[in-house]
């Protein structure tokens, strides 16, 4: 066996030299790539650090945003408070305009129908009316002379004492009654004679009747609001005896509130037995026999603030 000879390619280059050049090119390529890799690493690190730095710069405004958010929240609360004040001012203005509107309506209606209680000159001097504490209207009827006398003899001042109460305490008290179905009849003349003696009536432009009590109460509030400028308006039945000192102290605690209703709540047994007073024909609607009425407001005595009385007057 002999040694193989070196083969030559067609152009005269031996295969040994070809292999040598291939290996040399491989190592040269590896060397160049390594140098390029090491030189590019600092650039990437610098880029990464710049990205982090830029990211940190972008994070800082988030903290500032929190401060801005707190400032904006404070501005919002301030604006809400200002808006609330504006609404309260507008509410008071509207209430004042409603009072004047109610007074004008009552004056126009009463003057057209000949009511002696409210006249046009009184409305022209509406802004000059003195400020009062409360007006108490005692709802009465033609047949209730004994009840009125009982009230006059017990808790309702008379004559000069009644005038002094109005001037010094700002408290108005009147028996409230309308007219009979026959104007100028014996019933009306009886009330006119009683008024001439005691000067403690408020006559309404209203025809008296048992089934018209709700309408009478509404007309009372409307007439009282038009005639007197008070903080409260009270409705009382003529079979109720009142402690004026207690009423005054109770109302004084709520004087600064704009819309107030103060009354009594009551409940009692449902009377199913026929023939007894206050028998309930539909007692079965309230459950078993002996059941009680649900707790509800009684209409015998209650007080409403000026705004509520004005609302009743405008919307009756």
Q: β-strands 131-139, 229-237: how paired?
A: parallel
Those residues whose C-beta lies under 8 Å from the C-beta of residue 103, and which sit 6 or more positions away, are 123, 126, 225, 226
Please tell me the predicted confidence (pLDDT) of residue 124. Answer: 41
Please tell me the predicted confidence (pLDDT) of residue 26. Answer: 74
Q: How do residues 88-115 score in pLDDT, each as one tens digit?
A: 778 777 766 766 676 566 556 545 544 4
C-alpha–C-alpha distance, residues 188 and 148, integer Å: 16
Q: How do residues 165-198 score in pLDDT, each as one tens digit?
A: 999 999 999 999 999 999 889 999 999 999 999 9
C-alpha–C-alpha distance, residues 83 and 7, integer Å: 103
Q: What distance lies between CA 52 and its chain's CA centroid?
A: 56
**Domain parsing of the chain, residue ranges:** 120-263+299-315
Kindly state the tokens that stand for 7. 């083969």
C-alpha–C-alpha distance, residues 259 and 58, integer Å: 55
CATH architecture of the domain 120-263+299-315 equals Alpha-Beta Complex (3.90)
Average pLDDT for residues 51-58, to the nearest whole number?
A: 46
pLDDT at 52 over 70: no
Contact (Cβ atoms closer than 8 angstroms) between residue 228 and residue 309 = no
314 closest CA partner among 133, 109, 152, 52 = 109
Q: How do residues 1-23 score in pLDDT, each as one tens digit?
A: 444 444 444 455 567 777 777 78
């Amino acid at each position: 066996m002999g040694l193989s000879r070196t083969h030559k390619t067609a152009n005269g280059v031996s295969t040994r030299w070809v292999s040598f050049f291939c290996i040399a090119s491989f190592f040269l390529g590896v060397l160049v790539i390594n140098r390029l890799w090491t030189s590019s690493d600092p650039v990437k690190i610098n880029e990464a650090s710049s990205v982090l730095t830029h990211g940190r710069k972008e994070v800082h405004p988030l903290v500032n945003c929190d401060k801005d958010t707190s400032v904006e929240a404070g501005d919002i609360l301030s604006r809400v408070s200002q808006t609330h004040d504006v609404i309260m001012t507008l509410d008071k203005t509207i209430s004042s305009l409603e009072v004047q509107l109610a007074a004008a309506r009552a004056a126009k209606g009463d003057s057209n129908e000949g009511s002696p209680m409210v006249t046009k000159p009184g409305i022209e001097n509406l802004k000059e009316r003195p400020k009062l504490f409360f007006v108490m209207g005692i709802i009465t009827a033609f047949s209730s002379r004994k009840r009125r006398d009982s009230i006059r003899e017990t808790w309702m001042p008379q004559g000069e004492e009644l005038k002094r109460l109005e001037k010094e305490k700002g408290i108005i008290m009147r028996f409230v009654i309308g007219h009979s179905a026959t104007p100028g009849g014996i019933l009306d003349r009886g009330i006119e004679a009683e008024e001439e003696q005691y000067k403690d009536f408020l006559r309404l432009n209203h025809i008296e009747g048992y089934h018209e009590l709700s309408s009478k109460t509404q007309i009372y509030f409307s007439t009282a609001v038009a005639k007197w400028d008070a903080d409260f308006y009270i409705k009382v039945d003529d079979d109720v005896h009142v402690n004026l000192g207690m009423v005054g102290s109770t109302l004084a605690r709520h004087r600064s509130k704009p819309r107030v209703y103060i009354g009594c709540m009551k409940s009692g047994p449902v009377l199913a037995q026929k023939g007894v007073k206050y028998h309930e024909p539909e007692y079965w609607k309230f459950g078993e026999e002996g059941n009680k009425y649900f707790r509800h407001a009684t209409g015998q005595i209650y007080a409403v603030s000026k705004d509520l009385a004005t609302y009743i007057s405008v919307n009756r």
